[in-house]
Protein backbone atom coordinates (compact mmCIF):
# COMPACT_ATOMS: atom_id res chain seq x y z
CA UNK A 1 0.00 0.00 0.00
CA UNK A 2 1.08 3.54 -0.73
CA UNK A 3 0.46 6.53 1.51
CA UNK A 4 -1.23 9.65 0.16
CA UNK A 5 -1.50 13.13 1.60
CA UNK A 6 -4.94 14.67 1.23
CA UNK A 7 -4.71 18.43 1.65
CA UNK A 8 -7.63 20.72 2.33
CA UNK A 9 -7.60 24.00 0.39
CA UNK A 10 -9.45 26.87 2.01
CA UNK A 11 -12.36 26.83 4.42
CA UNK A 12 -15.91 25.90 3.46
CA UNK A 13 -18.47 28.64 4.08
CA UNK A 14 -21.85 27.72 5.50
CA UNK A 15 -25.09 29.69 5.72
CA UNK A 16 -25.75 28.77 9.35
CA UNK A 17 -24.08 27.09 12.34
CA UNK A 18 -26.46 24.17 11.86
CA UNK A 19 -25.31 23.68 8.28
CA UNK A 20 -21.70 23.69 9.49
CA UNK A 21 -22.50 21.16 12.21
CA UNK A 22 -24.26 18.88 9.72
CA UNK A 23 -21.21 19.05 7.43
CA UNK A 24 -18.91 18.24 10.35
CA UNK A 25 -21.04 15.21 11.24
CA UNK A 26 -20.88 13.89 7.66
CA UNK A 27 -17.13 14.49 7.55
CA UNK A 28 -16.50 12.70 10.87
CA UNK A 29 -18.61 9.74 9.70
CA UNK A 30 -16.68 9.65 6.42
CA UNK A 31 -13.35 9.59 8.27
CA UNK A 32 -14.52 6.82 10.60
CA UNK A 33 -15.66 4.84 7.57
CA UNK A 34 -12.13 4.85 6.15
CA UNK A 35 -11.11 2.26 8.74
CA UNK A 36 -7.52 1.04 8.32
CA UNK A 37 -7.02 3.23 5.23
CA UNK A 38 -6.81 6.26 7.56
CA UNK A 39 -3.15 6.49 8.62
CA UNK A 40 -3.21 9.98 10.17
CA UNK A 41 -6.52 11.66 11.05
CA UNK A 42 -7.39 15.11 9.83
CA UNK A 43 -5.22 17.85 11.25
CA UNK A 44 -6.41 21.46 10.92
CA UNK A 45 -3.75 24.07 10.16
CA UNK A 46 -5.17 27.29 11.65
CA UNK A 47 -2.08 29.46 11.05
CA UNK A 48 0.73 29.24 8.51
CA UNK A 49 3.73 31.38 7.63
CA UNK A 50 6.18 31.06 4.77
CA UNK A 51 9.93 30.90 5.25
CA UNK A 52 12.31 31.51 2.37
CA UNK A 53 15.31 33.42 1.10
CA UNK A 54 13.49 36.72 1.65
CA UNK A 55 12.63 35.91 5.28
CA UNK A 56 9.36 35.05 6.95
CA UNK A 57 6.05 35.89 5.26
CA UNK A 58 2.57 36.14 6.71
CA UNK A 59 1.41 32.87 5.09
CA UNK A 60 -1.26 34.54 2.99
CA UNK A 61 -0.08 32.53 -0.03
CA UNK A 62 -0.53 29.18 1.75
CA UNK A 63 -3.92 27.78 0.71
CA UNK A 64 -3.67 24.59 2.82
CA UNK A 65 -6.03 24.61 5.81
CA UNK A 66 -5.51 20.99 6.91
CA UNK A 67 -4.49 17.50 5.90
CA UNK A 68 -4.88 13.79 6.52
CA UNK A 69 -2.95 10.73 5.37
CA UNK A 70 -4.51 7.62 3.87
CA UNK A 71 -3.21 4.36 2.44
CA UNK A 72 -4.43 3.12 -0.91
CA UNK A 73 -3.33 0.71 -3.63
CA UNK A 74 -2.54 3.53 -6.09
CA UNK A 75 -3.33 7.13 -7.00
CA UNK A 76 -6.65 6.21 -8.60
CA UNK A 77 -7.78 4.48 -5.39
CA UNK A 78 -6.68 7.51 -3.34
CA UNK A 79 -8.66 9.79 -5.66
CA UNK A 80 -11.76 7.64 -5.09
CA UNK A 81 -11.24 8.03 -1.33
CA UNK A 82 -10.96 11.81 -1.75
CA UNK A 83 -14.10 11.95 -3.93
CA UNK A 84 -16.08 10.57 -0.98
CA UNK A 85 -14.89 13.36 1.33
CA UNK A 86 -17.84 15.68 2.15
CA UNK A 87 -15.37 18.60 2.08
CA UNK A 88 -15.31 18.35 -1.73
CA UNK A 89 -18.91 19.60 -1.85
CA UNK A 90 -17.69 22.97 -0.51
CA UNK A 91 -14.00 23.33 -1.35
CA UNK A 92 -11.05 21.62 -3.02
CA UNK A 93 -8.77 18.85 -1.78
CA UNK A 94 -5.40 17.82 -3.19
CA UNK A 95 -4.22 14.21 -3.40
CA UNK A 96 -0.45 13.65 -3.37
CA UNK A 97 1.48 10.41 -3.33
CA UNK A 98 4.01 10.32 -0.49
CA UNK A 99 7.40 8.99 -1.52
CA UNK A 100 9.25 7.06 1.18
CA UNK A 101 12.76 8.40 1.63
CA UNK A 102 15.59 6.29 3.04
CA UNK A 103 16.80 7.00 6.54
Domain ranges of the chain: 2-97
Enter the pTM of the model.
Answer: 0.88
Q: Could you tell me the end-to-end alpha-carbon distance of the chain, in angstroms, rounded to an integer?
A: 19
In this prediction, residues 70-98 reach a mean pLDDT of 96
If one looks up domain 2-97 in CATH, what number appears?
3.30.70.1060
For residue 18, pLDDT beyond 90:
yes
Strands 2-9 and 92-97: antiparallel
Where do runs of H (alpha helix) occur along 1-103?
Answer: 17-33, 75-83
SS3 state at 75: helix
- Rounded Cα gap, residues 48 and 35, in angstroms: 29
In this prediction, residues 69-86 reach a mean pLDDT of 97
Amino acid sequence: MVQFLITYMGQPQFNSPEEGQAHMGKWMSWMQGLGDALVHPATPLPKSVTVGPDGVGDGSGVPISGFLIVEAADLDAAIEIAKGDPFTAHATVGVSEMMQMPG
